[in-house]
Amino acid sequence: MGDTTPVGLEATLSLARTVTPIASARRRWPSWAGYAASAWALLYGSVLLAVAVTGGTLYDLPYLIWVAVAVLFAGAGMAAATVRPCGRRLPPWVVSAGLWTVLALAVAGSVFVLLNLIALVVTGSLRGRDGHADWGAFTARLSFVVVAVLFLMTALSWRHRTRNTCPDCGGQAHQPGAVAAVERTGTPASQRVRRIAHLGGLAFIPYYVCHFMRFADAPPFRGGDLAAPGDPFIPAAIIGTVLPAEFLLLGLVHSWGMIFPRWTLWLSGRRVPRFLPLIPVWLIAPTLAAYGTGAWVYVILQFTGVLEIDGTFADYLLGCSAATAFAGYGWALAIAAVSYQRRTRPRCILRQTL
pLDDT at 77: 94
- Among 167, 191, 225, the domain boundary falls at 167
pLDDT at 132: 65
pLDDT at 60: 83
SS3 of the chain: helix, strand, coil, percent, to 5: 65, 5, 30
The answer on 60 and 152 residing in a single domain is: yes
The answer on 20 and 97 residing in a single domain is: no
To which H or E segment does residue 21 belong? strand 18-21
pLDDT at 127: 67
The answer on 159 and 32 residing in a single domain is: yes
The answer on 257 and 161 residing in a single domain is: no
**Separation CA 46–CA 41 (nearest Å):** 8
The answer on 332 and 188 residing in a single domain is: yes
> Which pLDDT tens digit goes with each residue over 304-322?
877 777 777 777 888 889 8
The answer on 130 and 196 residing in a single domain is: no
The answer on 123 and 59 residing in a single domain is: yes
**Separation CA 301–CA 203 (nearest Å):** 22
In-domain check, residue 190: yes
The answer on 325 and 192 residing in a single domain is: yes
The answer on 128 and 101 residing in a single domain is: yes
The answer on 231 and 117 residing in a single domain is: no
The answer on 239 and 139 residing in a single domain is: no
Domains held by the chain: number: 2
Q: Which domain holds residue 265?
A: 9-24+183-352
Contacts of 35 (CB under 8 A, 6+ apart): 79, 80, 83
The answer on 301 and 215 residing in a single domain is: yes
Q: Are 41 and 75 in contact (CB under 8 A)?
A: yes
Query: For 251, how many CA atoms within 13 A lie in the half-sphere containing its CB?
Result: 21
Q: What is the CA radius of gyration of the chain?
A: 23
- Among 167, 195, 210, the domain boundary falls at 167
Residue stretches of the chain with pLDDT short of 70: 1-27, 118, 121-125, 127-133, 176-177, 180, 222-240, 352-354
pLDDT at 47: 96
pLDDT at 25: 38
- Among 133, 167, 201, the domain boundary falls at 167
pLDDT at 353: 53
